[in-house]
Chains A and B, each alone.
Chain A
Amino acid sequence: MNCADYERLIALDVEGDLPQPQGRAAAEHLLSCPSCQKFEDSLKTSQALLKELGQEPLGEETLTEVRRRVRIGLAGAMQPEGLPVWRLALGVGVVAALIFTVVTLHHSSPGVKTRIVAERSTPASVAPPAHATINETPNSKIASRSAKSAPAARDLSNTAGRASKPGPISQAPPRVRSLKRPQGVPPSRFPSGALRANAEIQHPQPLTIKLLTDNPNVVIYWLID
């Protein structure tokens, strides 16, 4: 170890921060090194000054100013954390922005063809998904595109009867179809959709609203519980 190494040890030892074995080594070096002795004396002076910095008066006006600012901050509608007011406001804001976007897209730009499709995603074993077209433009191109981008919204006879076959994509716009009883279920146990309605009441599925535009890259989903 050279003097530079010992300086770092002395810098700790001068305030008693050095563990004992290293402290002894530093003390032994100090006895035989005038340069490090000078370093230690100088360090003691700067340490004394450093400690005096903590005793300097802050001034009552400085403290008063801090108190005044804190009180103003507390009076300014400060709420302890945990109250969900801001979360509620944020949620309302997001929903309002979404509705505004949908309405603006739908009404203000005649060039943009949009279609809103509402559906409930239900497991196939319980019942086929109900499907209703709310608003539709008479544009076969959009219809075929919507069929590509939303396979669940296709004619359900494809998925129910021959789900394994890819089958041609229907060019006609999707139509509203009546509920079908699954094969193998006796009519008496499936009274015209009552079973499905009952299942939905017990296990409500989220309603999905898709806004399809004529831009294939833009599909807006809105999930409602």
Chain B
Amino acid sequence: MESHDLALTMTGPAPEESTADSAQALERAMGGDRAAFDELLRCYERRVLMTAWRILGSKEDAQDAAQEVFLRLYRQLQRVDPKRPLMPWLYRMTVNVCHDLHRKRRWNPDLRVEEANCPSTEGDPTGEITRAEQKQMIAAALQTLTEKERSAVVLRDIEGLSTSEVAGILGSRETTVRSQISSARVKIKKFVERLERGRS
């Protein structure tokens, strides 16, 4: 496995707080300032929670994962380099925690996709698929992917990171990540088409 420097320039959505502010908050938190840790929590919670939600497919599970990520951050504060951006570290931790949760709960994604997430046409005589239903289908399709494909496509397409940043976070080669992303996109498209054909 190729090692990557996680101190990458993030091209994705800007964090709620500037990098300089969060670096200062991180340094103060490392010195035991609980209020500074609270600042970090507020700064990064949305992105951690969103990533976990899309990887796990459920808000409740995502809350558990986000909680664990921030508790691990607190426990490992002394190991974090304040000169580097914190978000890649948090993404990596989020992916790891989600994989741990996934294994612990012996998830059955097929069950979730078929029974929980897919929109129902009952009560809609036209059978027309709304935008919200389409998004629900995409979210369901995400759960049919392998863990690695899902993590890669969530970081690349939902979080908007570059392929090299995703490779750095997942500890994989860029070519591997590209292969996972390509496979995931094709699977998602085909899954949604199947659902739409089934409805019509």
Query: What residues of chain A have their CB less than 8 Å away from a CB belonging to chain B?
Result: 7-9, 11-12, 14-15, 17-18, 39, 42-43, 46-47, 49-54, 56, 58, 62-63, 65-67, 69-71, 73-74, 78, 80-82
Contact = CB atoms under 8 A, between A and B. Distances in A.
7 contacts: A12-B182, A46-B192, A53-B158, A54-B159, A62-B63, A66-B63, A81-B78
Interface residues of B, number: 49
Contact of B158 (A12, A50, A78): A50
Nearest to A53: B158
B53 interface: yes
Contacts of A71: 38
B59 A54 contact: no
A189 B126 CA distance: 110
B186 A49 contact: no
Contacts, number: 117
A14 B138 CA distance: 17
B182 A74 contact: no
Contacts of A39: 189
Nearest to A81: B75
Contact of B71 (A56, A62, A74): A74
A170 B185 CA distance: 80
Contact of A66 (B45, B157, B178): B45
Interface of B: 13, 32, 34, 37-38, 41-42, 45-46, 49-50, 53-54, 59, 63, 66-67, 70-71, 74-79, 131, 134-135, 137-139, 142, 153, 156-160, 163, 178, 181-183, 185-186, 188-189, 192-193
A5 to B, nearest CB: 11
Contacts of B32: 80
A152 B157 CA distance: 70
Per CB-CB distance, the 7 closest pairs between chain A and chain B, nearest first, are A54-B158, A11-B185, A69-B67, A11-B182, A46-B189, A70-B70, A49-B138
A153 B76 CA distance: 50
Given A63-B46, A63-B49, A66-B49, A8 B157 contact: no
Contacts of A11: 181-183, 185-186, 189
Contact of A17 (B178, B183, B186): B178
Contacts of A12: 178, 181-182, 185
A53 B181 contact: no
Given A54-B54, A67-B41, A70-B71, A46 B159 contact: no
A54 B159 CA distance: 7
Given A51-B157, A78-B71, 4 more contacts: A46-B189, A53-B138, A58-B53, A66-B49
A81 B159 CA distance: 30
A213 to B, nearest CB: 42
B45 A50 contact: no
A78 B75 contact: yes
B134 A49 contact: yes
Contacts of A42: 189, 193
Nearest to A69: B67
Given A17-B163, A74-B34, A67 B185 contact: no
A70 B160 CA distance: 27
For A17, A67, A73, which residue has the most chain B Cβ atoms within 10 angstroms? Answer: A17
